[in-house]
Structure 1
Amino acid sequence: MASSAKKLKVQNSKDTREFQTWWTDKFGVINKGDKAVCVLCSGTMVCRTSSVKRHFETNHKSICQKSEAEQKELIASALKDRNKQSTSINTINTSHTSAASYTAANVIVRHSKPFQEGEFLKEAWLACAPSLFADFENKNKIIQRIKDTPLSRNTIKERILKLAENVT
């Protein structure tokens, strides 16, 4: 009889560790994998009501002391800002690096080179970049963009196939 009570307890603890959607409005946390992430400070915590509540009350005392309507308004604006920021950053970086990847694939196919040349190009760009952009203020950003550009053999193959579909 004792073992069945223990099993029940394990099942209940598993249920309480799932993200609860009402935490977003009340405490300003969103679900990210198996963790809860605070939209106010980007802190992570386990998915447990007590942990989420404790984080909110200790790290965001100034918000916690405001009225419930003001809390909801601040949390909603932080959530809106987070969504806008992550969307714009991902869109900008992805579009530029994808465009560069398509351009490299086009050059590779025009010169009848193997698809692995994309990796060679990336390595060459990364080797040249520090000296080429030494006097640029945003040199590190440029190098990071080169690192983020997808030029693997499979990516080049996919890019070439997509480019071939669009040829008329």
Structure 2
Amino acid sequence: MLKSATIPLLLVFLAMVGCQTTGMDSAAYTRARFFLESVSSEGYGAAVALPVSGIHIPLQGQAIVSEYDYLAVDVVDVDLGRCLVFTLKPAAAREFYQISVGNQGKRLVLIVNGEPLGVRLIDGPIADGRIFVFLEVSDSNLMELARKLKETNFDIQKKLKR
């Protein structure tokens, strides 16, 4: 009798353990972070060069948007071509709006896993919580990067809901 009761309990235990899987290992994340251009030669964190254009941009030391701040990332076609759009969480969107108001004329640099891939001029307040950025990568690499960013974002959102 003990054996017949043990098997269902074991199955329930295994099912519960299986439901607690953590998904991706955080070391496998594709991390997208936005850094603000530094206009001062003193106090900047690093200077980066974009891979194709070779543009050098000094950056402030801390990211202003990280992989934990956006809800979604998508590839979109706009008048100037194909780009990524990051949709920020409401709190991050409010904070980013304030940053965009106070930093018009500066550039926003997208760094993915430590590599600068795109830049966007802050030409006005960004109130809708969406950051459009053109990347210096091919369209096929853009699609693959978007897929990896979505996987990372999905895993982060899943872990944050626990």
Larger radius of gyration: 1
With the shorter chain as reference, the TM-score category is: under 0.3
Q: TM-score, normalised by structure 1?
A: 0.26
Q: TM-score, normalised by structure 2?
A: 0.26
Counting strand residues as a fraction of each chain, which structure ranks higher? Answer: 2
Counting helix residues as a fraction of each chain, which structure ranks higher? Answer: 1
